Amino acid sequence: MKKLLKQYFGHDDFRPMQKQVIDHFLDGNDTVVVMPTGGGKSLCFQLPALVRSGTTIVISPLISLMKDQVDALTANGISATMLNSSVELEELNQRMSDASAGHYKLIYIAPERLANEYVRNWISKLDITALAVDEAHCISQWGHDFRPDYRNLKLFRQEFPDIPIIALTASATEHVRRDIVSELALKKEEVFVSGFYRENLHITVMSKSGATQKILWFLNKHKNESSIIYCFSRKETEALAQILRDEGINAGAYHAGLTPEKRNEVQNAFVHDDITVVVATIAFGMGIDKPDVRLVMHKTFPKTIEGYYQEIGRAGRDGLPSDVVMLYSAGDKMKLDYFLGQMEDTVQRDKEEKKIREVMDYAESRICRWQWITSYFGETGLERCGNCDVCVSNDNTEDATEIVQKILSAVIRTGNAFGKGYIVKVLRGSRDKNVLSRGHENLSVWGIAKEYSTQDLMEYIIELIALGFLKRNNGEYDTYHITKKGADFLNNRETIELPKRKKDIVAQVTKEEFDLCDREVFDSLRELRKEIADEKGLPTFVIFGDVALQEMARKLPTTTQEFAQISGVGAKKLQQYGDIFTEVISELKEQKHGRSRATCRRHNNSRTEAKQYRLDATKEMLKSKDSLEDMAEALGLSQGTIVKYIEEISEDENIDIKYLLPNQKAQKEIIEGFKKYGHTKLKPIFKHCKERYTYDEIRLVALCLKK
């Protein structure tokens, strides 16, 4: 098993619980896996598929998620395909024929296709040895993302009563887990729950006041890194995306009101690192298999804890430190109340209302964020994380006795019958018509806290609710009364320490720092990864993840043997990318050790003698009309790198490359693609030509068109 793990996935060891799950599943048992996003769920069925003789069917809910996983598997040398509505009929028939001939170890299928009788008959004739159900919480009506099509999965148990089934999810309460077992008719199953805590995610909940400035602060902290910002409405996503673009941030909006083509364009641009920030409604992200999202923000608080956990789970899937931030305002509930009011099913409405209240309780609580979340999912015993906003602020307190006395007195004097906003108005001496109409400007507490900002007072009140000094009244509106605990505090003249007020209190992320030159190596390797990914029309993380690039930047491997030891480098990736990466690292290493630190900071990009030699050799072979294949073999480089050298040579001098072009028919089709889609990106041309020509051929035609 470890040999296969290294050969195909480039890892030396399993992550926690993976080995137990795989052993149980390979023994032919039904299995339920509840594992956080980024915990390695996919490997639990992908590795067993390599061991088993037949085919593993994988049920996955979103096309983009399937594509990313199939691309990643193919890049690792594993035969996999997907069958969904994005595949044209001719290609679909070919894939089904290949599957019948046993060409694939894994076949990804959308759940709605199981309703098709033709597909079910076809599946019944395959040599299926296992079924994997991804995002398994979708099968439960108690889950936050119920999908009726998942109920078709019972057909598998009827058609293949003896094959083992593995169901996987990142967010399932105990009730949902029982539903998964029941709906899939699992037998002698074992449920593996690896824990819901993700130590690399640093949670912050902040007041929504000054939202745009706070968003810009966090985006600046994660400059040039992938970020997702969730908004409430389509209009809000468009407006914020435009604000960010005006600030020079490469952002795109994503919501259900866009055409499918536009949504795909934004999603692909994000996955391929062409844009760094997506501002979206919650319709975005479930199908994103991108491991290097460094920031997830909620501009409006989410509707359920399960949904929130799923959404923040899109950050830091590679295990590196990442921020998740919620901008909270109780006023946002009014927006959600409007939509709840449109629901005719009172039972469902009450259920939704309860879920929203749970999110508000979470936002207003003052216990460790991770303790709250894990206990919600039934996990107990977690020590305080020490990194979330609550833990950080609890370690930095001040005497708040006087302001707490003023707040509690204001609640009592106004009759224990008002919400947070109204109490703040009284404390700050507002002449709002509602305050004046009640005569509350005559109270002794009116204006006694003018020196505090509205934001600070709101946060103090939230603290007091969390501490049990104030409690929400029964009824439709969020009004509060003082509790016995609060009254005792006043009567006994107690003292209290509360977190210091800060304009921007954030959890401090302790990122692993490179020295300056290593950081330059990392950035250079990111550029190289992007070039290769664009050339192949793949997401950057399919080539290598950030974890692998960071290890390269630390260890600086310059031989293929050293490169093979990097985590994430399997046999196929070693063969494909070992030479080009070690070549670039060798050049960077020469620069790193051959200059002073000050010179290193300036990092000039001049060609090394070794590279100049290869450029000169390429030029001579072009004059001799050598083929791409011969040039690549002679210099020990990939054909893609040779094409890059040809592009570089062509910038300085006119050299004949027409002999390298594909046939006239191919040239004509490629040129039509350029006329239709322009020269900015190669992938649309690749798709336009039905993937009949390589990216190298397309780049060579593009080069001739520029002359």
174 found inside a domain? yes
CATH number of the domain residue 404 falls in: 1.10.10.10
State which H helix or E strand residue 67 sits in.
Answer: helix 63-75
Q: Which residues of 128-154 are buried (b: 16+ CB within 10 A; e: fewer)?
A: bbbbbbbbbbbbbebbbbeeebbbbbe
C-alpha to C-alpha distance for 570 and 337, rounded to whole angstroms:
52
Please check whether residues 314 and 415 belong to one and the same domain. Answer: no
Point out which residues pair with 498 in neighbouring strands: 398
Is residue 509 domain-resident?
A: no
Looking at 497-570, list the stretches that DSSP marks H as alpha helix, in order from N- to C-terminal side.
516-536, 540-543, 546-555, 560-563
pLDDT tens-digit profile of 680-690? 777 788 888 88
Q: How far apart, in whole angstroms, are the C-alpha atoms of residue 452 and residue 464?
A: 16
Residue 507 lies in a domain: no
**Band (501; pLDDT cuts 50, 70, 90):** low
Res. 575: pLDDT tops 90:
no
Report if residue 392 sits inside a domain.
no
pLDDT at 466 over 80: no
CA distance 630 to 286: 45
DSSP 615-651: HHHHHHHHHTT--HHHHHHHHT--HHHHHHHHHHHHH
Kindly state whether residue 407 falls inside one of the protein's structural domains: yes
For residues 688 and 672, is the Cβ–Cβ distance under 8 A? yes
The residue among 89, 91, 90 whose CA lies nearest residue 81 is: 91
Instruction: Look at residue 419 and tell me whether its pLDDT is greater than 50.
Output: yes
Q: Which residue, of 362, 386, 410, is where some domain finishes?
A: 386
pTM of the model: 0.67
**pLDDT of res. 287:** 58
**What single letter denotes the amino acid at residue 685?**
I
Please tell me the distance from the alpha carbon of residue 532 to that of residue 579, in angstroms, as a whole number.
Answer: 13
- Statement to judge: residues 228 and 183 lie in one domain: no
Cα–Cα dist 182/153, whole Å: 12
**Are 153 and 106 part of one and the same domain?**
yes
Residue 314 lies in a domain: yes
Query: Do residues 133 and 219 both lie within one domain?
Result: no
Give the per-residue pLDDT at 116: 82
- 636 burial level (CB within 10 Å; 0-12, 13-18, 19+): exposed
Residue 261: exposed, middle, or buried by beta-carbon count in 10 A (0-12, 13-18, 19+)?
A: exposed
- CA pair distance 98, 557, nearest whole angstrom: 39
Is the pLDDT at 624 greater than 70? The verdict is yes
CA 177 to each of CA 133, 191, 564: distance values in angstroms, whole numbers, following the listed order: 13, 8, 40
Task: Give the pLDDT band (50/70/90) at residue 469.
Answer: very high
pLDDT digits (tens, 9 = 90+) for 248-294: 899 999 988 888 888 888 888 898 899 999 999 876 655 567 889 99
Handedness of CA 551, 554, 556, 557 (dihedral sign): negative
| 241 plus 268 within the same structural domain | yes
For residue 412, what is the enclosing H or E element? helix 401-413
Find the CATH number of the domain harbouring 657: 1.10.150.80
Position 447 in a domain: yes
Please give the average per-residue pLDDT across 509-530, as a whole number.
65
Rg from Cα positions in the chain: 29
Angle of the 346-364 helix axis to the 305-312 helix axis, nearest 10: 60
CA-to-CA distance for 352 and 347, rounded, in angstroms? 9
User: Does residue 484 register a pLDDT over 90?
Assistant: yes
Out of 386, 420, 442, pick the residue that ends a domain. 386
- Say whether 228 sits in a helix, a strand or coil: strand
8 A C-beta contact, residue 667 and residue 661: yes
Return the higher-pLDDT residue of 592 and 207.
207
Selection from 438, 204, 427 nearest residue 325 by Cα: 204
Mean pLDDT comparison of 344-353, 440-449, 641-650, highest-scoring range: 440-449
Question: Do residues 244 and 134 share a domain?
Answer: no
Residues above pLDDT 70, as percent of the chain: 92
Considering the domain architecture, whether residues 403 and 381 belong to the same structural domain is answered as: no
357 and 415 co-located in one domain = no
Q: Which of these ranges, 291-295, 432-436, 455-459, 517-521, has the smallest mean pLDDT?
A: 517-521
**What is the mean predicted confidence (pLDDT) over 5-11?**
89
Domain of 189, CATH number, reads 3.40.50.300
Residue closest to 208 by CA, chosen among 235, 243, 232, 227: 232
66-102: per-residue pLDDT in tens?
888 898 899 899 999 999 888 888 888 999 999 999 9
pLDDT band at 485 (very low <50, low <70, confident <90, very high): very high
Q: Give me the pLDDT at residue 360, please.
A: 87
Q: What's the pLDDT score for residue 599?
A: 37
Q: Which domain holds residue 295?
A: 201-386
Predicted confidence at residue 12, as pLDDT, reads 86
Instruction: Tell me the residue type at 637.
Output: L
Are 54 and 153 contained in the same domain?
yes
The reported pLDDT for the residue numbered 367 is 83
Tell me the pLDDT tens digit for each residue of 109-156.
988 888 888 888 898 889 999 999 998 988 887 666 678 888 878 778
* pLDDT above 80: residue 634: no
| Residues written for the chain | 707
Do residues 568 and 491 both lie within one domain?
no
Mean per-residue pLDDT of the chain: 85
Look up residue 214 and give its two tokens.
């706070």
Give the pLDDT of residue 509.
34
Domain count, the chain: 4
Q: What's the mean pLDDT in 186-207?
A: 89
At 168, the pLDDT band (50, 70, 90 cuts) reads: very high
**Separation between Cα atoms, residue 468 and residue 485, nearest integer Å:** 7
Clarify whether residues 234 and 371 are in a common domain: yes
Given 474, 499, 524, the domain boundary residue is 499
Q: Does a structural domain hold residue 476?
A: yes
Q: What value does the mean pLDDT take over residues 204-227? A: 89
HSE on the CB side for 97, CA within 13 Å?
6
Residue 296 one-letter amino acid: V
Residues 622 and 656 in one domain: yes
Amino acid at the residue 675: K
